[in-house]
Chains A and B, each alone.
Chain A
Amino acid sequence: MSENKEVIYGLYNDETELLRAVKEANSQQLEIMDVFTPFPVHGLDALLHLSESRLHEGGFVYGLLGTLTAFLGMTWIFTKDWPIVIGGKPYWSVPAFIPITFEMTVLFAAWGMTITCYIICGLGPGITNKVLDDRITDDKFCIAFNKSSIGDVNKVNDFFRSTGAAEVNSKVM
């Protein structure tokens, strides 16, 4: 959120009111900038037309990377770089490589996904994002509109009033 934009936002007291309001906004074709809630509200994603997160696909790729790193790494080390006979077993002892291959798969998938998630969300240590209202992480459910992308401010105010918003404010982000 680098550019300065003015945001009009309404706070609701309950997630059912919020969901109803989002539905209403959809039917009035008001373009919602974002919705902020204290906890994940189920059913909201569909109403906001948010496509399913593809994070888990990333997780699969990272996991595969871990599998290959571990398995090919051990293969190269024990057959090419420094072949060594251990307990009379073959150099390429595939069953013995399984535990480490599994652990590395999990390690890569978990770290890869987590880091990706924070990067695409724009979150991380030392990052400060402006918050619209301190009570959003407590008990308020917020619908925010970007003032410049909605033509008529009164329409938004009417919308908030009719859907039962407890408070309506604006803030420059």
Chain B
Amino acid sequence: MLKTFRIGGIHPKEYKISAGKAIQPIAIPDQVIVPLSQHIGAPCQPIVKKGDVVKTGTLIGKTVGFVSANIHSPVSGTVLKIDKALDASGYRRDAVYIKVEGDEWEESIDRSKTLVKECILSPKEILEKIAAAGIVGMGGATFPTHVKLTPPPGTKAEVLIVNAVECEPYLTSDHQLMMEKTEEILVSIAIVMKAINTRKAIIGIENNKRDAIEKFTQAAKAYSNIEVVALKVQYPQGGEKQLIDALLKRQVPSGALPVSVGAIVQNVGTMFAIYEAVQKNKPLIERVVTVTGKNMKNPCNVLSRLGIPVSVLIDAAGGLPESTGKVVSGGPMMGKALASTDIPVTKGTSGILIIPTLEAKRKSMKDCIRCAKCVNVCPMGLNPSLLMNLTEYEIWDRAEKNSITDCIECGSCSYTCPADRPLLDYIRLGKGKVNGIIRARKK
């Protein structure tokens, strides 16, 4: 029996139609827009101004505080302006507009393809390099990686978990990256194990990626203490807490960090970025993006510089079909619907999903029939139907008591509801409200 997490879960149709498509680089357009907030935490402070000439890899945004991540220019050219730009959050936020001129890289970056296995840096130096390169969780959460790799004093990770689950339907960017950059990822795992001083690493891969499981199982033999585990296909297994439960049979308590059960989880795309940062001095300026959708002519995996408008990527996949109803950044379960195709690719853009008109609109909601299917699928063991009602009637104390803040917003409840009730919409709202109340109480 394949391992999986123990509470709830769903299995949506996979639609991994871009699987096996080799990663193609995207040609750089004339202008890029680089948002200064591409991560969870404080937005960066811009350190360039209008007219400044930048190279590919030049630092353009510096961190403010510990929970933040540097931003580098993904292209070479001239800074046009620093202005508001619409991003995937739906807000207009500060971004650096750069006019592209050629593609000249910072000299410190090693652009060769040769695999660099040796790493003589100390753990501290490794972490500093990761922080300097502006690496964040690339599975979509975009939490600064150096923060995650620095557990609070008194805690220690016994095991590094590499999240190669890619449980979202449609997305294949991690899968393809694993097929093409197997060795680099394994080197990176060894580096991170050294940085956080752990003896053991586990790579969790869902069983719908048999080729990747085989490739990694073979390649990992050359490394010590790296184990590859095939997992049953089950959403949301890529959720940090779910993955730890699936692999270690340990459940992170409510409100605690994964390191409290001895684990640190990193996405496989993040691992590759760490390899490039530590071994090649390359900051995070590009990423693999799956561009896909049922009606797309050429669903594919592309390597895109950050800051390129998603419309350029969509064109590479055959252009926007007439039947387009919705453009989503990320997967269909947790991705964000974009208000415009001018929005740029950022560090967290794992995929661009084009949803046809027919599927884009929700059905009207019916009265709850209390079938409890939402309760059965909730991976956190919550009662979504109750939480929705409590939010609707603004009964915050009971919402808090019923652990609304534990919700990981995976959307399994809304996905499942036979009465088409927007459970997660309400719960998200209630969660924000209750979190606010808790913060106010602590002050």
Asked if A and B are interacting partners, one says no
Binding site for B on A (CB under 8 A): none
Interface, chain B (partner A; CB < 8 A): none
